[in-house]
Amino acid sequence: MDTSYLTPDQLRTLFSSAMSDMYRSEVPQYQTLLDLVDEVNQRVLADNPTLKQTLEQRGELERLSLERHGAIRVGRADELAMLRRLFAVMGMFPVGYYDLSSAGVPVHSTAFRPVDEDALQKNPFRIFTSLLRLELIQDQALREQASHILQQRDIFTPALKQLIELAEQQGGLNAAQGQALVTEALETFRWHDTATVDAATYQALLEQHRLIADVVCFRGPHINHLTPRTLDIDAVQQRMPEYGITPKAVIEGPPRQQCPVLLRQTSFKALQEAVRFTDGSHGQHTARFGEIEQRGMALTLKGRDLYDQLLHSSLNQTAGVDLDNASHQQQLSQIFKAFPDQEDALREQQLAYFRYRLTDKGRAAIPLSNIPTLQQLIDDGLVLAEPIIYEDFLPVSAAGIFQSNLGDDDKALQAGQANQQAFEAALGTAVLDPFQRYADLEQESLQRTVEQLAP
Ligand code: OOG
Ligand code: NI
């Protein structure tokens, strides 16, 4: 018997590529999006030899076309808890709490993702995972009905649950078991074109909120999008129509900057797909789409506060106005003039996180008996500060992605309250604090660098 275990990174890579294959065949337009992203990425690389070289050195070139994240929505606490166990086997852990109810979307969420730098480097695949908040359904009878429907289903195959337990007991899975885990996991995330309810029930839930119908009326939490990385999100947004793809109205997140920060995202609008109800009637369901992302620097709490403040003043200025993307970006750029756009300034004002390392000159200077200030080390060219990439999500952007894919006619539910405690109780553990992760990374790199200089 094979007793050598696959690493969680290997399992995650098997999983993400199997999900990608499945989604491409389920949603052909997603393949079209991948083709467009690839064309734009190749053009950016051809125009930017320095960027190409940097990506090559970091080993990122061959991973460029791999998906960076996907998203699912579940309806029950125990479903979320089992997902936590499944994703842990693949080296993905819950980071961050996202309250979408403040934007009228009746879910709260976390991102299951690799945490260590090394694991992120190998494969950063994440799953943005939302839990429906049934308590936000006002109609009591409908709330109870939704809960009852959800109780009837089991989104995990018996074999999957056994393999998760086996992995936990053994501390890993061999190649055959790992392959089986991935195959079984796909059963959870695949699309079902038959609903578990009749057309009238579907309609009633849809009218409460489209998301509720999406979560409650199907046998499983179909993957609702996958998201590759683009090197030029503005170009992809602009060119989608050429490829017969309808983009959402605006790119979410910060405007284009010299020093990109956080996360910019856009998607194509969810497709209308044929579904069959238990009464034999046919209908259409809108849930699945494709998305792209471009990541920048991770911001400190102070930087994030400034980002949130500027974003909200932009949202307030344009409330009730339907801006196209070009006008939106222009307006956003205007407001973001207040956001420093130089690495030095971002570092000196402690707005972003950095990773420190010795330069060649720094290594040649070892041992240094008198260690000057960090700024001096940087000014003298002994130490290099590189931005740390943001690996998480943004609640306002996520709400924008949700909303644009639920149909424009959708009413927001009454805004609810964040309830991280209830989410963590369902999950069975606390979520990790993303800010703490970046702060630790920065601190560790600084300490390592200084120790190297003065051994
Ligand atoms: C998740 C939407 C959020 C993102 O990238 O911010 C998201 C969903 O629609 O289920 O994926
Ligand atoms: Ni997404």
- Residue range 263-296, pLDDT digits in tens: 999 998 888 999 999 999 999 999 899 999 999 9
CA distance 191 to 139: 29
Statement: residue 95 has pLDDT above 60: yes
61-86 pLDDT, tens digit per residue, is 888 888 899 999 999 999 999 999 99
Which ligand gives the minimal distance to the CA of 131?
A: 1
- The amino acid present at 373, given as its one-letter code, is T
* Residue nearest ligand 1's atom 9 by CA: 402
Q: Find the DSSP H helices in 152-257.
A: 158-170, 175-189, 199-208, 210-216, 233-239
Residue 234 reports pLDDT greater than 90: yes
Ligand 1 site, residue 20, Cβ cutoff 6 A? no
Q: Which is higher by pLDDT, 322 or 76?
A: 76
The answer to whether residue 407 scores a pLDDT higher than 70 is no
CA-397 nearest atom, ligand 1: 6
Tens of pLDDT along 104-113? 889 999 999 9
Going by CA atoms, what residue is nearest to atom 7 of ligand 1?
A: 398
Q: From ligand 2's centre to the CA of 117, what distance in Å?
A: 21
Average confidence (pLDDT) over 405-418? 64
Integer Cα distance of 398 and 307 in angstroms = 15
8 A C-beta contact, residue 97 and residue 108: yes
**Ligand 1 near 71 CB (within 6 A):** yes
Average pLDDT, the chain: 93
Listed range (103-107, 355-359, 418-422, 432-436) with the worst mean pLDDT? 103-107
Question: What is the band of 415 on the pLDDT scale with cuts at 50, 70, 90?
Answer: low
* Residue 360, number of CB atoms within 10 A of its CB: 10
Is 265's C-beta closer than 6 angstroms to any atom of ligand 1? yes
3-state secondary structure of 120: helix
Query: Looking at the predicted structure, is the pLDDT value of residue 300 above 90?
Result: yes
Whether the CB of 224 sits within 6 Å of ligand 1: yes
398: CA distance to ligand 2 center in Å?
7
Residue 82: per-residue pLDDT: 98
Separation of CA 439 and ligand 1 centre (Å): 25
Tell me the CA–centroid distance for residue 93 and ligand 1, in Å. 17
Judge whether residue 413 has pLDDT over 80.
no
Residue 8 preceded by cis peptide, ω within 30: no
H or E element, residue 276: strand 272-276
With a cut of 90, say whether residue 1 has pLDDT above it: no
> What share of the chain in percent tops pLDDT 90?
83
| pLDDT score, position 186 | 98
Q: Give the environment of ion ligand 2: residues with CB less than 5 A.
A: 71, 227, 291
**Quick check: 405 pLDDT over 80?**
no
Residue with tokens 């299951």: 112
Q: Is the Cβ atom of 286 under 6 angstroms away from ligand 1?
A: no
Q: Which atom of ligand 1 is least distant from the CA of 72? A: 10
How many Å lie between the centroid of ligand 1 and the Cα of residue 395? 9
Q: Which atom of ligand 1 is nearest to the CA of 402?
A: 9
Q: Which domains does the chain have, with CATH numbers?
A: 8-296+390-433 (3.10.180.80)
How does DSSP assign 325-389, residue by residue?
HHHHHHHHHHHGGGS--SHHHHHHTT-B-EEEEE-HHHHHTPSPSS---HHHHHHTTSEEEEEPB
Residue 276 is predicted with a pLDDT of 97
- Ligand 2 center from residue 112 Cα (angstroms): 12
The reply to whether ligand 1 has any atom less than 6 angstroms from the CB of 129 is no
pLDDT at 406 over 70: yes
Q: Which phi and psi angles does 383 have, rounded to 5°?
A: -125, 140
Looking at 327-336, 383-392, 404-413, 428-437, which range is the least confident one?
404-413
Banded pLDDT at 411 (limits 50, 70, 90):
low
Q: Is the CB of 110 under 6 A from ligand 1?
A: no
In this prediction, residues 151-164 reach a mean pLDDT of: 98
Instruction: Measure the CA–CA gap between 425 and 77, rounded to whole angstroms.
Output: 8
Residues forming a β-bridge with 349: none
The pTM for the full model equals 0.95
Structure tokens of 70?
Answer: 């996907």
CB of 393 sitting under 6 A from ligand 1: yes
Asked which of 164-173, 252-261, 409-418 is least confident by mean pLDDT, the reply is 409-418
Q: Which atom of ligand 1 is nearest to the CA of 73?
A: 10
Q: What CA–CA distances, in Å, run from 332 to 21, 203, 317, 335, 339?
A: 36, 38, 10, 5, 11
Is the CB of 403 inside a 6 Å radius of any atom of ligand 1?
A: no
Please state the φ and ψ torsions of residue 450, each to the nearest 5 degrees. Answer: -65, -40
CB distance 404 to ligand 1 below 6 Å: no
Ligand 1 centroid, distance to 402 Cα (angstroms)? 6
Give residue 190's pLDDT band: very low, low, confident or very high (50, 70, 90).
Answer: very high
- Would you say the CB of residue 155 lies under 6 angstroms from ligand 1? no
147 in Cβ contact with 166 (< 8 Å): no
Query: DSSP state, 282?
Result: E
| pLDDT bracket for residue 408 (50, 70, 90) | low
- Alpha-carbon distance values, 240 to 37, 400, 405 (Å): 10, 18, 16
401 lines ligand 1 (CB under 6 A): yes
Task: Confirm or reject: Cβ of 402 under 6 Å from ligand 1.
Answer: yes
Nearest CA to ligand 1 atom 3: 398
